[in-house]
Structure 1
Amino acid sequence: MLRRSAFRLPRHPASVGLARLRVRDHLAVWGHTAPAEALDTAVLLVSELATNAVRHGPVREREFEVAVTVLADGSCFIEVSDAGVHDGIGRGLRLLDALAETWGVWHRGPHGRTTWALIRS
């Protein structure tokens, strides 16, 4: 079964923790808690992507969006969207390389970008 939730958060450092909490809660409510390593990986990657959105998002943009989807095979698809155009190569993107099955960036022209990651369970 496919389940998806998306929510917007203020571009503020406290929102990173809230993004982690909400993603963990959604996955738990959907029964997506095993293996624990996959759950922890999803939460860690959301944290890193939300941190990038908060740090590198444009000043005029006050929010960013987080989406979490559980696919039919149990994989977890994470998306974080913001209005920024910065393509950072920091720690967060190195974590994506190490922990995600695959990941990428959708450039949305003047509307910014969406960074996504697929985590296999």
Structure 2
Amino acid sequence: MTNDIGAPSAHAVPHTELTSPTRHFTMRFSSTPRGVRLARRLAGQRLDAWGVPYGSPAFDEVTLVVAELCANAVRHGRVPGRDFRLWLGADAVTVRVEVTDTGAEGTPEPASPGDDGEGGRGLLIVAGLAATWGWRERSDGPPGKTVWAEYSLRAGDRSASGGDRMRLNP
């Protein structure tokens, strides 16, 4: 994968991909609500196996980020007959979530705080939980994009959401 970010956005930040994740997981899922649920469940199982236990604040927050990014891929990046891809990577202090879709829809932008619509708050949730997040155009062929978020497990890098971060098992 390339480190290039797509077109500039007010919410696209420098790409800080983990240089050497000690653990990683990737899988393609159907672009359906069922695919989103399965992605969240499998991500949760993987996090628990990596030492981020079920029910911990870190577990809950990372699985919420996974669910929001996957739901956005299905809602805004869905192309009939095409899947989305979830990639998780982790080292001792960071979990990175990447979700790649095949839609040609524009840049991902969070809703404005004053928006009264029913949707559009998923990226606000991601921004509130993740240490950093952004997006880049898909570089491996078909149109699409990858939206990513990094979650810090260090207590000193806490987001405004609260809760103690967990360290991954080596």
Task: Give the TM-score normalised by structure 1.
Answer: 0.88
Mind listing any 5+ residue stretches in structure 2 that lack a counterpart? 1-20, 111-119, 154-170
Among candidates 148, 152, 164, match of residue 116 of structure 1: 148
Could you tell which deviates more after superposition, 48-57 or 30-39? Answer: 30-39
Aligned residues: 120
Mind listing any 5+ residue stretches in structure 1 that lack a counterpart? none
User: For 1:24 and 1:34, how far apart are their aligned partners in 2?
Assistant: 7
Deviation at 1:35, TM superposition (A): 8.6
User: Are 1:61 and 1:83, in contact at CA under 8 Å, matched by a contact in 2?
Assistant: no
Which residue of 1 is the match for residue 71 of structure 2? 51
Task: Give the TM-score normalised by structure 2.
Answer: 0.65
Structure 1 residue runs of 4+, over 6 Å off?
A: none
Deviations 1:77-105 (A, max 9, x none): 00000012333432111112111100000
Tell me which amino acid in the other structure corresponds to 1:56. H
Q: Larger C-alpha radius of gyration, 1 or 2?
A: 2
Are 2:94 and 1:75 aligned?
yes
- Structure holding more helix per residue: 1
Are 2:86 and 1:66 aligned?
yes
The structure-2 alpha-carbon separation of the partners of 1:84 and 1:33, relative to structure 1 and needing over 3 Å to count, comes to same
Aligned residues with identical type, % of pairs: 37
- Structure holding more strand per residue: 1
